[in-house]
Amino acid sequence: MPSPMALPSPTRRNYSIFKKRSTSSLSSPQTAASYLSALSEADARRFRTQQAVPTETPAISLSSSVTSGSEDSVLHEKDAWSSLEVPLQPPTSEQVFTTVHSEFGHCTNQAYRKTSQYVPGTALNHVALEPSYYIVFTTYISYLILIVLGHVRDFFGKRFYPSSYQHLMEHDGYAPLNSDFDSFYTRRLKQRMNECFGQPVTGVAGRTIMLLDRYSTDYGLTQTFTGTRTRALNISSYNYLGFAAAKGGCADAVEESITRYGVTTGGSRLSGGSSDLHTQTEALVARFLGTEDALLSSMGFATNSAYIPALVGKGCLVISDELNHASIRFGVRLSGANVRMFPHNDMNALEALLREVISQGQPKTHRPWKKILIIVEGLYSMEGTIVDLPRLVELKQKYKFYLWVDEAHSIGALGPNGRGVVDYFGMDPAQIDILMGTFTKSFGAAGGYVAGSKALMDRLRVRGYLGAYSESMSPPVMMQIVSSMASIMGVAPPVLASSSPSTADVYTGPAPHALVPSWLTLDQNWVSSAYGTPDSPVAPLVMFNPGKMNMFHGLMKQYKTPIVTVVVAYPATSLVTSRVRFCVSASHTKDDIDTILRATDEIGDVLDLKHGLRKAERWTIDEVCERAVELVSA
Amino acid sequence: LKPRGRSGSIVKVEQIGDRLEEVLDRSAYVNINADWVNAKGAWLIHVVLICVGKLIIDTIPGMTQQVSWTLVNLIYLALTYLMFHWVTGIPFENDLHGGAYDDLTLWEQIDDGAQYTPAKKWLLGVPIALFLASTHYTNYNPWLFAVNISALVFVLIPKLPQLHRRRVRFIHDYASGVATPVTP
């Protein structure tokens, strides 16, 4: 049954929200406004009815299951399909999937869904168990050996092989090009692990990804392509809702928008580069989040580094969490405001700090601060922890500071309606002064936004220097944002004539938000060096020793189903807690997660990664796979 | 504004690293180069490494207990001096902190420059304990005692809070009072 929200059937191509610019400008806003009002009606209806299980991928009697169709299949012809391209369970004759299995997995088991919502009274973030002493000692000794070896190699290398160290030494009266001290870690530690970093890939970074194989003969300095490609299970991309797909309603809409709007609007927002699509997208983002207005920017990092200086300056105080992202710190440094940090997610320490800074005032003069801005993230991707927002807003009402929440990872991925961390806790978005986020992670687009009250956004439009100096967001990217956001909000994107003949109830693969990965069984029962909260789509697994990073990555790639993972070592994390980070996506099926867990189990036995729980308390991997649903709902 | 140093002095004590931009840059980041001293096992690793070092030195043929303990003491002091009080700066991620730590040794970076913290107390106590052990095992031989105690005093001086971010310079001239960066 076609949704009442669906736009008229695509046979009448004249009626579309993507009106050409040459037509009169009066009709276009009306169409856009009516589209937006219909959208808000559907949204309100959804909030009112608030079904426990939102609409699922419908069963239509077509016996096809699209398993190929992306351009990758042209690049490599194979006789046998690997398990990554074909689902393990063949589809029934009543299921139709409009996605490619290698981009977005085919799975319709409703038992594997879980609503992402905070249950009051439960512990928000798990406290990680401490590693045992022998692990810590071996880690320190590993780093000591690496550092000593590095210095020895530098010392002798500069004397015996000066040609390879030319960029680090003075010669001919020229200063060294690079400081050898500053680049010590990059040259002596990171270079040893270089096969883990900078992996060239091609194709869609969806459920699977195509790696270009390479090897190194000079210990990581250079890499050579072997010429082959490997399709690997992708647990490393930020693809929380699975919108990274080349086939589907969003991709079609994007292609259409290129035809209608071109690839650029040719200018910065304040000097001629602003189009009606910008206004519509901002209005849609504001509607999605529940704020009055929103402001787009074309680059996620730049959103933080440009709009924080527009809000705070000298004489203001910024209190930021210890583990905030580099873009936030960059913006704060750029602004010239004073900074204090509080221990990660520790609201009691934050309260103590607030009492100290408010009572002491500015340093040396002790005058009151012009404003105090607290910057936190919704979901911390390195830890997998979620900010304690209810307590933070309580503190806000008590101490009257301004609050900036950076929802780069949590928007779309948390909350029963996908509206981010505010939705996850069931709070009112008006309680937070600025909601910032990016479109890179859950929407498959690029760029960022800032959202808040209309007066604030109007002022930031002018005061933030992105408006004057940065390029405006390009139309196809905005179209991807609009179509992905609209499909999360429950409106099917307008299905254009090129797609299948069935009408608008053929949804693109990701049915909305409750498909936040329920298969993220919390590893506490099995391998307990996992950090974070069970509701987070990011699960870091701590490995402590630097040598295990390389081995883990390599062994995962050589597993019978190749799996590509992200390893993060010092100095991106603290010294002893090097980790591997699993970013689970809605495009993964339970079989994929089982594969990953089995691989981690096998490799964990080889590399001695299982610590914390005694052997007797642990579950076996088969138990974990079978009792997954029970684990998640517990 | 850095005050112009007096030129031509033989000995000069100079305060470094208190420009406003540097202070702001330092407060924006958790200094993971210096953070590990408070992590689990960072204190006991000293004991472990001293024991391992002693075992290795004892394997050298013709080694007596006296010389062995003196050597352990001296090598430990030399290596910790090199690590905590000689090398300045952070060897990675320069675009994040913009060189705000380039003049600070690891000792000065620990705990963001706070004094009398537990980590600093431990790092002060280990050389002293090692010195006491070495004097005991050298049977208070005056020559070895003199060597050990002068090494200890030499290492303890930069750990004093009075010398925090202060450098003693001998006949060091700067061109018109502006320091050129000394880190390579």
pLDDT in tens, A246-262: 888 888 899 999 999 99
- pTM for this entry: 0.83
- Which range of A99-103, A345-349, B9-13 scores highest in mean pLDDT? It is A345-349
- Name the pLDDT band for A624 (thresholds 50, 70, 90): confident
Is residue A519 domain-shared with residue A559, that is, in the same domain?
no
Is residue A236 domain-shared with residue A253, that is, in the same domain?
no
Which chain A residues touch B40 with a CB distance below 8 Å? 130-131, 133, 136, 576
Is residue A160 domain-shared with residue A74, that is, in the same domain?
yes
pLDDT at A95 over 80: no
pLDDT at B52 over 90: yes
Is residue A557 domain-shared with residue A507, that is, in the same domain?
no
Is residue A225 domain-shared with residue A299, that is, in the same domain?
no
User: Is A529 a member of any domain?
Assistant: no
Interface confidence (ipTM) of the complex? 0.88
Sheet with A208-215: strands ordered across: A201-202, A208-215, A224-234, A563-564
- Tell me whether B32 touches chain A (CB under 8 Å): yes
For residue A349, what pLDDT is reported? 95
Could A320 and B28 be called an inter-chain contact, meaning their C-beta atoms sit closer than 8 Å?
yes
Which chain A residues touch B42 with a CB distance below 8 Å? 140
Could A180 and B92 be called an inter-chain contact, meaning their C-beta atoms sit closer than 8 Å?
no
User: Is A559 a member of any domain?
Assistant: yes
- Name the pLDDT band for A621 (thresholds 50, 70, 90): confident
pLDDT at A60 over 60: no
Q: Which residues of A353-390 are buried (b: 16+ CB within 10 A; e: fewer)?
A: bbeebeeeebeeeeeebebbbbbbbbbbbbbbbbbbbb
- Name the pLDDT band for B8 (thresholds 50, 70, 90): low
* Min Cα–Cα distance to chain B from A457, Å: 26
pLDDT at B116 over 60: yes
Is residue A12 domain-shared with residue A106, that is, in the same domain?
yes
Which chain A residues touch B36 with a CB distance below 8 Å? 574-576
**Partner residue opposite A322 with nearest CB, options B30, B33, B98:** B30
Reported as a single tens digit per residue, the pLDDT across A576-599 is 888 899 988 888 888 888 888 889
User: Is A459 a member of any domain?
Assistant: yes
Residue bearing the bigger pLDDT, B41 or A338? A338
Average pLDDT in chain A: 80
Greatest pairwise CA separation for chain A in angstroms: 79
Q: How many residues does chain A have?
A: 634
- Name the pLDDT band for A217 (thresholds 50, 70, 90): very high
What is residue A524's DSSP assignment? G
Peptide bond preceding A416 in cis form (omega within 30 of 0): no
Greatest pairwise CA separation for chain B in angstroms: 58
Alpha-carbon span B164 to A466, nearest angstrom: 42
CB atoms within 10 A of CB A440: 18
* Min Cα–Cα distance to chain B from A529, Å: 15
Taking alpha carbons only, the member of A316, A341, A295 closest to residue A401 is A316
For residue A49, what pLDDT is reported? 56
For residue A20, what pLDDT is reported? 42
Is residue A167 domain-shared with residue A230, that is, in the same domain?
yes
Which chain A residues touch B106 with a CB distance below 8 Å? none
User: Is A352 a member of any domain?
Assistant: yes
For residue A578, what pLDDT is reported? 87
* Min Cα–Cα distance to chain B from A193, Å: 16
**Partner residue opposite B92 with nearest CB, options A133, A141, A185:** A185
Number of domains making up chain A: 2
Helix (H) or strand (E) holding A139: helix A133-160
Which chain B residues touch A176 with a CB distance below 8 Å? 184
Residue of A130, A333, A375, A570 best to disrupt the B interface, most CBs of B under 10 A: A333
Which chain B residues touch A136 with a CB distance below 8 Å? 39-41, 45
- Segments of A381-468 assigned E as strands: 385-386, 402-406, 434-438, 448-452
pLDDT-wise least confident of A148-157, B25-34, B124-133, B157-166: B25-34
Reported as a single tens digit per residue, the pLDDT across B122-181 is 999 999 999 999 999 888 889 999 999 999 999 999 999 999 999 887 776 554 445 555
* Cα angle, residue A159 at apex, residues A157 and A160 outer, rounded to 5°: 70
pLDDT at A87 over 60: yes
Could A133 and B25 be called an inter-chain contact, meaning their C-beta atoms sit closer than 8 Å?
no
Q: pLDDT > 90: what percent of chain A?
A: 46
Is residue A209 domain-shared with residue A331, that is, in the same domain?
no
Could B40 and A136 be called an inter-chain contact, meaning their C-beta atoms sit closer than 8 Å?
yes
Is residue A90 domain-shared with residue A216, that is, in the same domain?
yes
Q: pLDDT > 70: what percent of chain A?
A: 77
User: Is A619 a member of any domain?
Assistant: yes
pLDDT at A114 over 60: yes
Among the candidates A479, A501, A524, a domain finishes at A524
Q: What is the CATH number of the domain that holds A367?
A: 3.40.640.10
Q: What is the mean pLDDT of residues A431-449?
A: 94
User: Is A628 a member of any domain?
Assistant: yes
- Tell me whether B114 touches chain A (CB under 8 Å): no
Residue of B18, B24, B37, B96 best to disrupt the A interface, most CBs of A under 10 A: B24
**At A66, phi and psi to the nearest 5?**
-75, 115
Reported as a single tens digit per residue, the pLDDT across A285-305 is 999 999 999 999 999 999 999
Residue bearing the bigger pLDDT, A115 or A163? A163
Could B40 and A326 be called an inter-chain contact, meaning their C-beta atoms sit closer than 8 Å?
no
For residue B1, what pLDDT is reported? 56
* Min Cα–Cα distance to chain B from A566, Å: 19
Query: Is A214 buried (19+), middle (13-18) or exposed (0-12) by CB count in 10 A?
Result: middle
Among the candidates A524, A544, A572, a domain finishes at A524
- Name the pLDDT band for A634 (thresholds 50, 70, 90): low
**Domain span at residue A612?**
1-240+534-634
For residue A75, what pLDDT is reported? 43
Task: Check the CA dihedral A113-A119-A124-A130 and report its sign.
Answer: negative
pLDDT-wise least confident of A369-373, A536-540, B123-127: A536-540
- Tell me whether B61 touches chain A (CB under 8 Å): no
Could B184 and A340 be called an inter-chain contact, meaning their C-beta atoms sit closer than 8 Å?
no
- Name the pLDDT band for A23 (thresholds 50, 70, 90): very low
For residue A46, what pLDDT is reported? 62
* Min Cα–Cα distance to chain B from A559, Å: 33
Q: What is the CATH number of the domain that holds A558?
A: 3.90.1150.10
| Cβ–Cβ under 8 Å, residues B172 and B12 | yes
Which chain B residues touch A141 with a CB distance below 8 Å? 45, 49
Is residue A184 domain-shared with residue A48, that is, in the same domain?
yes
Among the candidates A524, A548, A577, a domain finishes at A524
User: Is A230 a member of any domain?
Assistant: yes
Is residue A106 domain-shared with residue A45, that is, in the same domain?
yes
Residue type (1 letter), A496: L
For residue A66, what pLDDT is reported? 44
Which chain B residues touch A341 with a CB distance below 8 Å? 27-28, 30
Which chain A residues touch B183 with a CB distance below 8 Å? 179, 181
For residue B124, what pLDDT is reported? 95
For residue A530, what pLDDT is reported? 60
Is residue A273 domain-shared with residue A236, that is, in the same domain?
no
